[in-house]
């Protein structure tokens, strides 16, 4: 059943508290949308809502972390990373505090809210920060695993969550240790390296290309920072061509991270599929098709890279 990655947030926090972890969440007037409200309903003393004040959200989270708690922050991605970037940099990362940045509603699949709410720069903003780990789960199960990993790993972690329901890529037994890149489909002609929303579309594109005799390896770049260098280089070496696909700007995101790695350690032709503009209003499906980030668009770019 398709479920949004944001749905894993509040549910997993409740489970972690039930398992004995000293978890708290701080949100900025979006508890229902981010699903931290589920933690507040089950354990009212473990959720702080600071109102529409994301900079204050980070400051409160930082203070709570200094009491020994593991603290998660919510909000929408455009506000939860953009509006309070300086506080994340100077208060959380510079001091290595145990604060987890987990906003929801990232990417163009936010839909009709339009460009102001479609955060396409968050991976770049977070991966540039020293000490920050960056996780982009592809479905509900991997989102729950990412939140668990963040809770049990000291220091700053960014988990990118979304609004759009996504098909299952992994089952509920999925666990992760960093660095991690999964290979849900093996192939020999081209590697499609995707993250988040785009993993399911890459798998669909691989099926369509297989009908034309093209063998696609799909790599889920779950941890954008640190990168699973071994898996990424091995796939690039096997296929000789890499297409990166992300619901994010092509500047500074997952594709940039992969291209940087391969340029230094195993150069192969790399094409980056993502956005170079702001988004616009529309349904998630309409926007993915418009920006050629659906399966059909991935097929088109893959064929270009293969010279077909």
**Residues tagged active-site:** 54
β-pairing, 242-249 with 216-220? unpaired
Dihedral sign, Cα of residue 297, residue 302, residue 307, residue 308 = negative
Structure tokens at 99: 């604060």
Q: Is 267 exposed, middle or buried (0-12, 13-18, 19+ CB in 10 A)?
A: exposed
Distance of CA 30 to the CA centre of its chain: 19
Strands (E), 123-176: 133-135, 157-159
Looking at the DSSP assignment, which residues form a beta bridge with residue 73? Answer: 26, 101
Can you tell me the distance from the alpha carbon of 47 to that of 57, in angstroms, rounded to the nearest whole number? 11
C-alpha pair distances (Å), 154 with each of 70, 85, 254? 8, 20, 23
């Amino acid at each position: 059943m398709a479920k949004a990655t944001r749905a894993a947030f509040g549910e997993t926090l409740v489970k972690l508290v039930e398992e004995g972890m000293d978890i708290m969440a701080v949100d900025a007037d979006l508890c229902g949308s981010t699903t931290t409200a589920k933690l507040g309903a089950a354990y009212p003393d473990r959720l702080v809502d600071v109102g529409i004040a994301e900079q204050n959200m980070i400051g409160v989270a930082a203070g709570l972390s200094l009491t020994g708690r593991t603290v998660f922050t919510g909000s929408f991605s455009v506000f939860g990373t953009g509006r309070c970037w300086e506080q994340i940099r100077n208060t959380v990362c510079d001091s290595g505090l145990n604060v987890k940045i987990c906003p929801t509603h990232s990417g163009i699949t936010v839909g009709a809210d339009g460009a102001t709410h479609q955060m396409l720069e968050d991976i770049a903003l977070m991966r540039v920060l020293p000490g920050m780990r960056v996780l982009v789960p592809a479905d509900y199960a991997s989102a729950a695993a990412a939140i668990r990993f963040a809770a049990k790993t000291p220091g700053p972690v960014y988990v990118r969550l979304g609004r759009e329901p996504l098909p299952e890529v992994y089952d509920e037994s999925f666990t992760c240790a960093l660095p991690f890149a999964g290979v849900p489909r093996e192939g020999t002609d081209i590697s499609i390296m995707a993250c988040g929303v785009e993993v399911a579309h890459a798998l669909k594109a691989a099926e369509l290309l297989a009908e034309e005799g093209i063998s696609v390896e799909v790599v889920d770049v779950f941890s954008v920072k640190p990168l699973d260098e071994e898996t990424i280089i091995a796939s690039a070496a096997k296929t000789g061509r890499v297409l990166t696909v992300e619901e994010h700007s092509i500047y500074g995101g997952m594709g940039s991270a992969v291209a940087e790695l391969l340029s230094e350690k195993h150069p192969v032709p790399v094409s980056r599929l993502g956005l170079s503009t702001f988004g616009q209003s529309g349904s998630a499906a309409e926007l993915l098709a418009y920006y050629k980030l659906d399966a059909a668009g991935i097929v088109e770019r893959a064929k270009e890279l293969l010279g077909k």
